[in-house]
Amino acid sequence: MTMDDKNSGALVFFGATGDLAFKQIFPALQALVTRHGLNIPIIGVAKAGWNLDQLKARARDSIAQHGGVNEAEFGKLAGLLRYVDGDYRDPDTYSRLRAELGEAKRPLHYLAIPPSMFGPVAEGLAKSGCATDARVVVEKPFGRNLESAVELQAILHGVFPEPGIFRIDHFLGKEPVQNLLYLRFANLFLEPIWNRVYVSSVQITMAENFGVQGRGGFYEEAGAIRDVVQNHLFQVLASLTMDPPTGEEHDAIRHEKARILRAVRPLSDADIVRGQFKGYRNEAGVAPNSRVETYAAVKLFIDTWRWAGVPFYIRAGKCMPVTATEVVVNFKRPPRDTFGESAPGLVNRLRLRLSPEVVIALGMRVKLPGERMEGEHVELIAMHQTGGDMSPYERLLGDALRGDQSLFASEDAIEAQWKIVEPVLGDVTPIHEYEQNSWGPTEAGLLMGDPGGWLNPAPTGVPAGTAT
């Protein structure tokens, strides 16, 4: 990574001994060193009673489990590592950090720690001089509701200017999510039909074929709405519906996303179905009478001229039949059934599969062989395998070190997202139990206005899911 006047001269990551560092940060740092020439001090901070050799051993174990260790390249990373062991509330911790930073300009502080510690760490950085001309990266969840999100904004703004705050959502760093924006704005053919005149509805599904995987305590605090709907899937929604960004500055895309999210109508009780898979209450850390949702389906409307009246259906759930994230844009039927075919589901659609593989598929009607003017639904498919893609954390950490905020959530967007879900947070609607390995509670079908119902992702991107 070549240095210029905008790049950070050091990377500090709080929570260096934690799970996130092991699973994501160390592999991303190795990639940045290997593929991008990162050559700046990397300072881990934690209260674990460790020393630098133990941190290096932890880094080696992490990289060994996430791609394997190349001794020469790991040696470069290990040579950049530094370590400060201390309590986040102890001023001495920050004095020692200040000494490790030396003459580094624009240090990037990554807070891979619980949000409850943002305040003490920001204060410690400010009092020690470590926050001078610095940047900060904070992990989601950014608050638990609108009020707590605003409070966190105020804490960070008390130390860092908005251009120096990077709110990381790894979903935004994924190649398929970037492809959504590229597909829309690098091609002209979609724009004339990308509006309420031609689009009848949009579905966004994020299905996972596993449960909470031992993280019951975390899920009791989060639930599906806070975990993936309010952030990941709303960002997909914004990418699908935003207007083209104007200008090339970093904030152009973020401004358009925030603008469209502010136009989304807040949810009401009638717009949501919550579910919980059978057996969830038996998970470790889960209350025996838990009312936390492991499945959520919502119906949204966007009050703009482009999208007025078009329903957007979003669902996310655990213990589904497959693991896949998919977008389906249904277009309106021709104004007249020329051939007398009026069965539900006879529509054109654009299907965008975001994971685990990348698929772009255009659904249309073609004539069946024979004398009768009858047709069938087929898809024209372009498919891109995801192997070898840059990892989200590699991309996002590299951008943050360069000061590029394009792929990070803005303050306005986060507050708009919380305003959408605020009316339905908590146990304010019924919780419906559903069988594992199913598509969730049957009540979710009642949200749908589409005759064909939900389009369920198939186990692979080809063929298309079956309408139910």
* CB distance 434 to 441 below 8 Å: yes
Is the pLDDT assigned to residue 463 strictly greater than 80?
Answer: no
Residues 288 and 281: their CA atoms lie apart, in Å, by 5
Residues 52 and 61: their CA atoms lie apart, in Å, by 14
Kind of pairing between the strands at 272-277 and 431-434: parallel
pLDDT (0 to 100) of residue 175: 81
Burial letters 265-293, b for 16+ CB under 10 A, else e = eebeeebbbbbbbeebbebeebeeebbbb
Is the pLDDT assigned to residue 49 strictly greater than 50?
Answer: yes
Q: What are phi and psi of 243, to 5 degrees?
A: -80, 160
Is the pLDDT assigned to residue 149 strictly greater than 60?
Answer: yes
pLDDT (0 to 100) of residue 449: 74
Provide the residue type at 215 as one letter: R
Is the pLDDT assigned to residue 389 strictly greater than 70?
Answer: no
Residues 456 and 345: their CA atoms lie apart, in Å, by 13
**Per-residue confidence band for 450, with pLDDT thresholds at 50, 70 and 90:** low
pLDDT (0 to 100) of residue 3: 47
pLDDT (0 to 100) of residue 464: 44
Residues 336 and 429: their CA atoms lie apart, in Å, by 41
Query: Helices 52-65 and 71-80 meet at what angle, rounded to 10?
Result: 140
11-139: CATH, from 3.40.50.720, 3.40.50.150, 3.10.20.30, 3.40.50.300: 3.40.50.720
Q: Please tell me the pTM assigned to this model.
A: 0.89
- Show the tokens assigned to 420: 């959408």
Annotated catalytic residue 232? yes
Nearest to 67 by CA among 30, 18, 103, 104: 30
Mean predicted confidence (pLDDT) in 83-99: 95
* CB distance 296 to 315 below 8 Å: yes
264: DSSP letter: B
- Show the tokens assigned to 338: 């020329």
Mean predicted confidence (pLDDT) in 176-202: 91
- The SS3 call for residue 231 is helix
107: DSSP letter: P
pLDDT (0 to 100) of residue 382: 79
Residues 463 and 468: their CA atoms lie apart, in Å, by 15
**CATH architecture of the domain formed by 172-391+409-447:** 2-Layer Sandwich (3.30)
pLDDT (0 to 100) of residue 467: 39
First vs last C-alpha separation in the chain: 50
Of the candidate ranges 32-41, 178-187, 309-318, the one whose mean pLDDT is the lowest: 178-187
Is the pLDDT assigned to residue 466 strictly greater than 80?
Answer: no
Residue of higher predicted confidence among 317 and 144 = 317
Mean pLDDT rounded to a whole number for the chain: 89
pLDDT (0 to 100) of residue 384: 66
What percent of the chain clears pLDDT 70, i.e. is strictly above it? 94
- Show the tokens assigned to 200: 């009848």
Q: Which of 232, 377, 384, 432 is catalytic?
A: 232
DSSP-assigned states of every residue in 276-330: EETTGGGSTT--TT----SEEEEEE-B-STTTTT--EEEEEESS-SS-EEEEEEE
Domain ranges of the chain: 11-139, 172-391+409-447
**Per-residue confidence band for 212, with pLDDT thresholds at 50, 70 and 90:** confident
Residues 353 and 363: their CA atoms lie apart, in Å, by 13
Q: What is the helix (H) or strand (E) element at residue 45, kind and residue range?
A: strand 42-46
* CB distance 452 to 344 below 8 Å: yes
Is the pLDDT assigned to residue 249 strictly greater than 60?
Answer: yes
Q: Left (φ > 0), alpha (ψ -120 to 50) or beta: where does 292 sit?
A: beta
Residue 306 CB neighbour total at 10 angstroms: 16
9: DSSP letter: S
In this chain, the answer to whether the domains covering 11-139 and 172-391+409-447 adopt an identical fold is no
Query: For tokens 């160390």, what's the residue?
Result: 26
**Per-residue confidence band for 468, with pLDDT thresholds at 50, 70 and 90:** very low
Residue of higher predicted confidence among 5 and 200 = 200
